Amino acid sequence: MEVAIFSSTRYERRYLNEANRSGEHKLHYFDVLLEQDTAGLAAGYGAVCIFVNDKADAPVLTALHEGGTRLLALRCTGYNNVDLEAAKRLGIKVVRVVTYSPNSVAEHAVALLLAVNRKVHRAYNRTRDSNFSLEGLTGFDLFGKTVAVVGTGKIGCVFAKIMLGFGCRVIGFDPHPSAEFEALGLSYANPGEIGEQADIISLHCPLTPTTHHIINSETLKRAKPGAILVNTSRGGLIDTEAAIEALKTGQLGGLGIDVYEQESSLFFRDRSSEIITDDVIQRLVSFPNVIVTGHQAYLTHEALTTICETTLESVSAFEKNLPLQNEVVG
């Protein structure tokens, strides 16, 4: 099948080509985002493959449909960037990668937490300049601290297990309780209890209208002073302006994010020779207690292998008119 792959990178192409080593599909790579101005590139392709920051709203889907696209394959788990009602109306099937390596994202969340807490990024920069002073590098023991896991799906459960290994007390918040989470002997709390008790809050829920800005000025006011917030899920879960204000007052003790509300114009590209006009991200990275990574939590060999194989398996199933196990239904 002819597949147009948007937002492709060199490292992804290697894994996609390996997953397609039989040559079953003809893969055509575009390094641009899918949006209304670029949708015309997909004309003639029966399947279009997109990533987290590509736009698949009604106008884009209409353009794809007019060009002959009948399958939209997301090489990610989240689908907040797709208008599912429009896709259904147009007869475009949507598939995603339901699960790849929950360990990859959970482990990166832990890495962000440790780096923010123990000031690893600041120590690294100092020692490169032969500055071995320890002033301002004091952190706290994770042992005995309360960790709130917001979203207790596969990734949230792996993160919870790791935190238990550190000797933390772990509580969860999720409107859909997980038997796996409860099997760990863990309990759920309401949002108010999380704010009062949590020394660390880690977000592992999807971005939906309900969870948009789940972390906002009000929830941050109720948070335990000095708490560390980690987000490896979707940028829209956090009201970034509110987080900045909480950082300025010290109400938020640290922030580690792998995702950002306005990341689509920044992430996955080298912008080091450009003037970044996004004042919000510039303010974020100016804080000594903030670490921003460029949506790399999923970036492991195991995860990339599974993502690419699962995506092309869905394309094959569609072409052969077989059941789509990973279909997203609006």
Mean pLDDT of the chain: 96
Alpha-carbon distances of 217 from 192, 220, 303, rounded to whole Å: 14, 5, 34
Q: Which residues are catalytic?
A: 234, 263, 295
Q: Which of 123, 109, 268, 65 is nearest to 202 (CA)?
A: 109
Asked if the model's pLDDT at residue 330 lies above 80, the reply is: no
pLDDT for the residue numbered 101 = 87
Find how far residue 74's CA is from the centre of its chain.
Answer: 13
pTM: 0.92
pLDDT by residue (tens digit) across 47-98? 999 999 999 999 999 999 999 999 999 999 989 999 999 999 999 999 999 9
Alpha helix ranges (H) inside the chain: 10-19, 58-66, 84-90, 102-117, 120-128, 154-165, 179-183, 191-197, 217-222, 240-249, 279-286, 301-319
| Contact by Cβ (8 Å): 4, 42 | yes
pLDDT-based confidence at residue 217 (cuts at 50, 70, 90): very high
CATH architecture of the domain with range 102-292: 3-Layer(aba) Sandwich (3.40)
Q: How far apart are CA 18 and CA 305, in angstroms?
A: 9
In percent, how much of the chain has pLDDT > 70? 100
Asked if residue 329 lies in contact with residue 37, where contact means CB atoms within 8 angstroms, the answer is: no
Contact 301, 11 (CB under 8 A): no
- Cα(238)–Cα(212) distance, integer angstroms: 7
| Mean pLDDT, residues 158-162 taken together | 98
Whether the CB-CB separation of 149 and 202 falls below 8 Å is answered with yes
Angle, to 10 degrees, between the axis of helix 240-249 and the axis of helix 279-286?
30
Question: Residue 192 has what pLDDT?
Answer: 81
pLDDT given for residue 322 in this prediction: 97
How many degrees, rounded to 5, is the angle at CA 11 between CA 6 and CA 12? Answer: 40
User: Is residue 21 over pLDDT 90?
Assistant: yes
On whether the CB atoms of residues 57 and 83 are closer than 8 A, the answer is: yes
Instruction: Give the per-residue pLDDT at 195.
Output: 87
Q: What is the pLDDT of residues 72-81, one digit of tens each?
A: 999 999 899 9
Residue 79, CB half-sphere, CA atoms under 13 Å: how many?
Answer: 23
What mean pLDDT do residues 106-123 have? 98
Per CATH, the number for 2-100+300-319 is 3.40.50.720
pLDDT range class, residue 12, cuts 50, 70, 90: very high
Q: Where in the chain is the domain with CATH 3.40.50.720?
A: 2-100+300-319, 102-292
26 band by pLDDT with thresholds 50, 70 and 90: very high
**Three-class DSSP category at 213:** coil
**What band does 193 get if pLDDT is binned at 50, 70 and 90?**
confident
